[in-house]
Structure 1
């Protein structure tokens, strides 16, 4: 995906699949009708535990509810404190699956490899768009990545000449002219925090006045209550109280709304894959409960849940390739 910079590490065939997905064609994204309905191959019981991304908490909850309808003897437990909690939970066997809104870092992979002698399996499960939110009554319509960088970091690595502090600095007048811009974001455990820092701030530190929130929903709620607020969160958390801004990569370049088409084409600059991390050696079978859950995730029902949650389902042809590569066909 655009903007992945040094410090990120995609493991096993995650890099292969990202390239493969990009060959699928935008028209294939978001369609679930070609996928097969879920059919259980085994009947798991006991517990399936998920630890990781808050961005994916709603999606994991809905997947869990749907999966439990097929397997009522199974209990699905979710802890969603941030993507950074997923790798250690998988490595220490505190979870069966680890949802992440960013790729694993090299140090996280190395810790797993040292424990097991092989790399974790990282599977793309959905396509997400990171949105920039303002209050619904705010008249601003668009920003550039340079302006976003200058808003959220003092360093301004993208080259914007000043750090905007009032809405007048972004071209607004009237009641907004002297109003201070209030910034909302995620905490450092979040994959969304890391993604924004790497892809918007180019690795620079956030400004100290960013009000860090524990969850994606909290960011959107804060902006919805604050007429002078601005924040970033996944597109799946949009509500009627906020407005999503169009983004331009550079000054004098066109701006785009976050949609499946603009994200896939790269016109909208803040798009990413969402992942599930699992323990799986190529020489040994996957845990039956994990394999069954992944079959559900990649089924028609599972990807329909992706769409209902505000994300973009993966193309059917690529899902078939993923199942084959993971030994789940």
Structure 2
């Protein structure tokens, strides 16, 4: 081998070693869970990569329950959830030596979606319970005295799969702790699937995060009880808790975060991160002034 070819080979090896060193120096944060939060989480991860290029945040959905299970099993650094962890989940985590720590990163109004041809603009929690509850008593819109153009049959009741934090929170807020969903609901995998189906189906009603409301549907004003004034789902009514189906949005870590995970969560809670939360359609965890 000539000295020139040896030098060329040595240069290639050095470049490869430097690239490997650079790759190994990059920290990857695994972030998994809530489909409600997945778009916001992806936006946060993308912007943080510009702030701190040495950290890559890998985001995936699958539902709040999936993220929490991954945190319990030690396969993610941060679990996104649109509901609080249950006592059962906390005990399971502790049994495996995990110590879940809760971080509120924003607030959401869980909106009630109906088709754009829906004749009214409001609904009560009690009517939602009649529609969604087992033996609730309302299988057709006419049972509630409502006539919708293009809808003659039963209410198309759209829900979420039971590993969803949105599903769990809606059940608790509307049906009560011991309430059960009616049989025959169309259980969608994600919030966008709920929105898409309701947009196209005159007889449908669904629920999901405020960020998934579009101009092609109605998001109903919700009254806490029949006859009481209704409250519109907005970022402000989610933040101040006046909307009847408002909830905090969580990120969970195993123990108090440290290192790059702590830096990332601190950034999410900063004005910059909170403005991204607001831009994605959720209420920030604190008052911020965003451009």
TM-score range, shorter chain: 0.7 to 0.9
- Structure 1 residue 205: Cα displacement: 1.8
Aligned match of 2:158 in 171, 181, 184?
A: 184
Rounded Cα–Cα distance in structure 1 between residues aligned with 2:148 and 2:181: 29
The C-alpha deviation readout for 1:182-219, integer Å capped at 9, x for no partner, is 01111000000000111101132211211000001110
The residue aligned with 2:76 is: 95
Rounded Cα–Cα distance in structure 2 between residues aligned with 1:199 and 1:217: 21
| 1:1-329 equivalence runs, <5 A | 45-116=26-97, 119-156=99-136, 163-173=137-147, 175=149, 178-202=152-176, 203-281=178-256, 286-315=257-286
- Output the TM-score relative to the length of structure 1: 0.75
Higher relative contact order (CA 8 A, sep 6+): 1
Instruction: Provide closer, same or farther for how the CA distance between residues 200 and 72 of structure 1 changes in structure 2, counting only shifts above 3 A.
Output: same
Between 1:308-317 and 1:93-102, the stretch displaced more is: 308-317
The C-alpha deviation readout for 1:46-88, integer Å capped at 9, x for no partner, is 3111111111001100011011112223332122111111222
- Structure 1 residue 227: Cα displacement: 1.5
Cα contact 2:235–2:281 (8 A) shared by 1: no
SS of aligned partner of 2:158: strand
- Structure 1 residue 228: Cα displacement: 1.4
Cα contact 1:97–1:278 (8 A) shared by 2: yes
The C-alpha deviation readout for 1:212-236, integer Å capped at 9, x for no partner, is 0000111011101111111000101
Cα contact 2:109–2:247 (8 A) shared by 1: yes
Flag the structure with higher helix content: 2
Cα contact 1:167–1:176 (8 A) shared by 2: no
SS of aligned partner of 2:181: coil
- Structure 1 residue 177: Cα displacement: 6.6
Kindly name which structure, 1 or 2, has the bigger radius of gyration based on alpha carbons: 2
Rounded Cα–Cα distance in structure 2 between residues aligned with 1:177 and 1:93: 48
SS of aligned partner of 1:175: coil
Rounded Cα–Cα distance in structure 2 between residues aligned with 1:94 and 1:247: 39
Rounded Cα–Cα distance in structure 2 between residues aligned with 1:265 and 1:276: 20
Rounded Cα–Cα distance in structure 2 between residues aligned with 1:276 and 1:293: 12
Between 1:48-57 and 1:82-91, the stretch displaced more is: 82-91
Residue correspondences, number: 263
Rounded Cα–Cα distance in structure 2 between residues aligned with 1:305 and 1:265: 19
Rounded Cα–Cα distance in structure 1 between residues aligned with 2:241 and 2:130: 22
Rounded Cα–Cα distance in structure 2 between residues aligned with 1:193 and 1:174: 26
Instruction: Provide closer, same or farther for how the CA distance between residues 262 and 75 of structure 1 changes in structure 2, counting only shifts above 3 A.
Output: closer
Cα contact 2:33–2:66 (8 A) shared by 1: yes
